[in-house]
Amino acid sequence: MSTTFQLDTATSRAHPTPAPMKRLTIPAIRRRKQDGVTAEPIVMLTAYTARQAQLLDAHCDMLLVGDSLGQVIYGLSSSVPVTMEMMINHGAAVVRGSYHAAVVVDMPFGTYEQSPAQAFENAARLLKETGCAAVKLEGGAAMAETVAFLSQRGIPVMGHIGLTPQAVNVLGGYNARGRSAAEADKIVADARALDAAGAFAIVIEGVVEPIAVAASEAIACPSIGIGGSARCDGQVLVTEDMCGLFERVPRFVKRYADMATTISEAAETFAAEVRARSFPGIDQTYQPRGA
C-alpha cells in the first residue's frame, strides 16, 4: 500500500492527507505488449500541474511531464533551455495530483548526454525529488549504453527516437523523419538498440508511418506514437494541443476541444462585467450579518 497527498478541490490546495492508492507500475506498462501484440493500447498525455494531473489521471495509463513545458508553460522557443529545477517542480506537482497513472519525467537537454554517470546522478535526483516512476531521454543507439546503465541500477527509462526536439538545432527544424532510406534504417536500428538496452517503452515521434510501424514491430517493448501510426502500441499528445489552447498545432494533433475560445470568451465576459460594475454582485460579496 502506498500513499499520496490528495488535493482539496474546493480550495485547490494540497493537504497532506494520506490516501490508499494503486498506481500503475512500469512493469505493468511493459507487460501490455506480449509477443509483439498490445491488446489494450497505452494512453499517455502530458501534464505540468497538479490540477491538470487530477483531470487527466483517471483516463491515462501514463502522465508525461514533458520538457515541452518550456514552450507550453514558459514561452521558450524550444525545449533546449529547460532546467532540472523546472522539471523537478512540475514533476512533483503532477505526482501529487495523480494517483492512478505512472508518471514519467523528461530529462532536460544537457543532463544525461555527457556520460552514463551524469545521467544516473540527474535521473536519481528526478526520482527522489518528484516521486516519479521513470524518466525519459532522447536519442537512439548513441544513448543505448546510458539506458542500460540506468536500467541496471533501478531507474526505468523511456526512450525517444525519430523527431527529437532537443536536437532541433542539429535537425534544422521539426520536419518529419524517415523519408530517406538511410534515415529510415537508422530509426529502426535506434529502436532496436534502445529495446535491447532495457528501455521499458519508446516514443516514436514525427516519423513517416511505414517506418513508425516497422520500428514498432521491431521491438519487444511498447512503442508510443506521436505523429507515427495508430499501429503503435500507444499514443501521446501534448494536452494543450489536444485541447485547442494554441492557434497552431502540429499536423499530427487532433483537437478534441477549443479551450482557447472558451477561456477568451470567459475573460471577455468578466472584463465587460467589471467595467459595467455588475461584478461582483450580491452573491460574490460579504454582507453584514443580519442584513
Question: Which residues are catalytic, by number?
Answer: 205
Interior CA angle at 27 toward 243 and 82, to 5°?
Answer: 45
Interior CA angle at 164 toward 163 and 166, to 5°?
Answer: 145
**Tally of CB atoms within 10 A around 124:** 15
Interior CA angle at 17 toward 13 and 21, to 5°?
Answer: 110
Residue 68 marked as a ligand binder = yes
Residue 247 marked as a ligand binder = no
Q: Which of 259, 255, 262 is nearest to 245 (CA)?
A: 259
Residue 12 marked as a ligand binder = no
**E strands along 108-228, which residues?**
134-136, 157-162, 201-205, 223-226
Q: Which of 184, 91, 168, 172 is nearest to 131 (CA)?
A: 91
Q: Is 235 helix (H, G, I), strand (E, B) or coil?
A: strand
Dihedrals phi, psi of 81, to nearest 5 degrees: -75, -5
Residue 216 marked as a ligand binder = no
Residue 136 marked as a ligand binder = yes
Q: The dihedral of CA 153, 157, 163, 167: what is its sign? A: negative
Cα-Cα end-to-end distance for the chain: 51
Per the annotation, binding residues for Mg(2+) are 67, 106, 138
Per the annotation, binding residues are 67-68, 106, 136, 138
Per the annotation, binding residues for 3-methyl-2-oxobutanoate are 67-68, 106, 136
